[in-house]
Amino acid sequence: MSITGGGADVDLVWALLVDMSLLCTFMLQHTVMARPVIKGLYNKLGLSIVERSVYNLTASLALQLLIQHWVALRDPVWRINTVEHNACWWMFAISHGYCWATIYLGSLTMDLSELLGIKQVYYYLNGWEDPLTLKSSELQRLISHQRHPSFVSFFFIFWVHPYMSVDRLIMAVIMTLYMVCAWKVDDIDFEYQERQFERKEIELSH
């Protein structure tokens, strides 16, 4: 990437427009389809049982679109040589693996099948209530503020990387701002999670 010369300027601007458009598409899908008015529309049409499944399907399509059409801007903002420093490579690999494991295990803890929309359909076919209504009011409140974990892990994955290219920096900034605005976890949610963690510690110790 170069910002000198007319042609290079056009290429840079086009790359930024494409990447920003892809990020906006992903964020709009996440935001619009989670709005109460959209959920209400599903209820009116009698399709509330597939609302979560459709949400995940469209989120996957938006993510796939972003991956396939993302324009790389390879100039480094910073670069750490992990080839010559093997310990650094292991540090990044282990820390990123830990973050992804935290996200996955957190999703399992918060009920992965419900998060994916599978449990809603299964419960409906068996004539049972919506699985979300069977959860405690505290957990329902937490889910309404943060549908899946984990802010810290995503933040770490975005920002802690040996090669921070320009396009990755753009993605990291925008996605971090989006998470700050979209996730509404407060003190009550933290206290609830702390109580649940302490409860699990007691259960596992016996």
Tell me: the pLDDT tens digits for 76-128?
A: 999 999 888 889 999 999 999 999 999 988 888 878 898 899 999 999 999 99
Q: What are phi and psi of 93, to 5 degrees?
A: -65, -45
pLDDT score at 157: 95
pLDDT in tens, 147-157: 777 889 999 99
Percentage above 90 pLDDT, the chain: 52
Map residue 11 onto helix, strand or coil. helix
10, pLDDT greater than 60? no
Return the residue matching tokens 């300027």: 9
Q: Which residues contact 152 (CB under 8 A, 6 or more apart)?
A: none
